[in-house]
Amino acid sequence: MLAAAAGAAAMAVASAVGIAGASTTADPPTVRSLPAVTGEAVVGRTLTAANGTWGGTEPLTFTYQWRRCGRAGSNCANIARATAQTYVLVPADRGHRMRVRVTATNSVGSRSAVSPPSAIVRAPASSPPPGPAGQVKLADGKISIPVTSVSSPQRLIVSGVEFQPSVVRSRDPFTARFRVTDTRGFVVRSALVYMIGLPYGRIANVPEQASGTDGWVAFQVQPTARLPLVNGGALVVFVRARKPGENLLAGVSTRRLVQVRLGAP
């Protein structure tokens, strides 16, 4: 009876030893393929760290550190607080390559691997300013646009009028200047401008001209013998601005009556 009890106890001990011997040892993380940087290397865009592939006992957790490197991908430095799996490129990254260090951790330990470098980070492509095409900023702060950038429901406006001299007292040629803008306030170049005196025949006809970059067009006006040079008189001038190729009375064209004062010689 005692012998049987002793044998049973021995078997229990042997069984316990066998179970302990059957336990496995955990493996630390090992790199099977390197991490990678994905995304477009352009300031303002987001890069993402691909973990690569790893061996080792599961579960594995990953942490990240983004690094800014030289143009050859060397001389790297950690970027402060850039420890997420994604990273938004900033202007300081322009001209550099980026790498990411990925660290895998499990119950046994940790191991790190660094990605190959990204492409050289470049500036974003410049985008055209908002608004009409062909904008040119003038010295007076106004924006000049070509007449081709004016379309309905916008219209042209004869917004500026100047005569030199301001009072016509002789039949010598004088200058008439007109500035063309549109209903948005842009200065308009290459608009076709026409003027004629009223009543007809008081000044010689002048050909239609295109407005310049600053929106102004200047006419040399020749008075005729029919222009009455009297104090308090006025010459009425019909002015039209239009877009080439459009109907004279339609589209974005505009018309205006202005006048220049007359005086006795």
Tens-place pLDDT, residues 87-107: 999 999 999 999 999 999 999
How far is residue 260's CA from residue 161's CA, in Å, rounded to a whole number?
Answer: 10
Q: What whole-number percentage of the chain has pLDDT above 90?
A: 82
Tens-place pLDDT, residues 32-52: 999 999 999 999 999 999 999
Residue 120 has pLDDT above 80, yes or no: yes
Q: Are 166 and 261 in contact (CB under 8 A)?
A: yes
Tens-place pLDDT, residues 47-77: 999 999 999 999 999 999 999 999 999 999 9
pLDDT-based confidence at 11, cuts 50/70/90? Answer: very low
Q: Find the Cα–Cα–Cα–Cα dihedral 238, 239, 242, 248, rounded to 10°.
A: 10
Residue 18: which H helix or E strand, with range? helix 2-22
pLDDT-based confidence at 140, cuts 50/70/90? Answer: confident
**Residue 10 CA: distances (Å) to CA of 18, 22, 62, 201:** 12, 19, 47, 136
How far is residue 71's CA from residue 69's CA, in Å, rounded to a whole number?
Answer: 7
How far is residue 233's CA from residue 163's CA, in Å, rounded to a whole number?
Answer: 15
Q: Which CATH entry fits the domain spanning 136-262: 3.40.50.360, 2.30.30.190, 2.60.40.10, 2.60.40.420?
A: 2.60.40.10
Domain boundaries, the chain: 31-114, 136-262
Q: Are 83 and 66 in contact (CB under 8 A)?
A: yes
How high does pLDDT run on average in the chain?
A: 89
Tens-place pLDDT, residues 188-215: 999 999 999 999 999 999 999 999 999 9
Q: Are 165 and 264 in contact (CB under 8 A)?
A: no
Residue 2 has pLDDT above 50, yes or no: no
Higher pLDDT, 241 or 5: 241
Tens-place pLDDT, residues 148-163: 999 999 999 999 999 9
How far is residue 160's CA from residue 147's CA, in Å, rounded to a whole number?
Answer: 17
The CATH number that domain 31-114 falls under is 2.60.40.2700
Q: Which two tokens stand for residue 6?
A: 């002793």
Residue 112 has pLDDT above 70, yes or no: yes
The answer to whether domain 31-114 and domain 136-262 are alike in fold is yes
Residue 21 has pLDDT above 50, yes or no: no
Q: Are 68 and 101 in contact (CB under 8 A)?
A: no
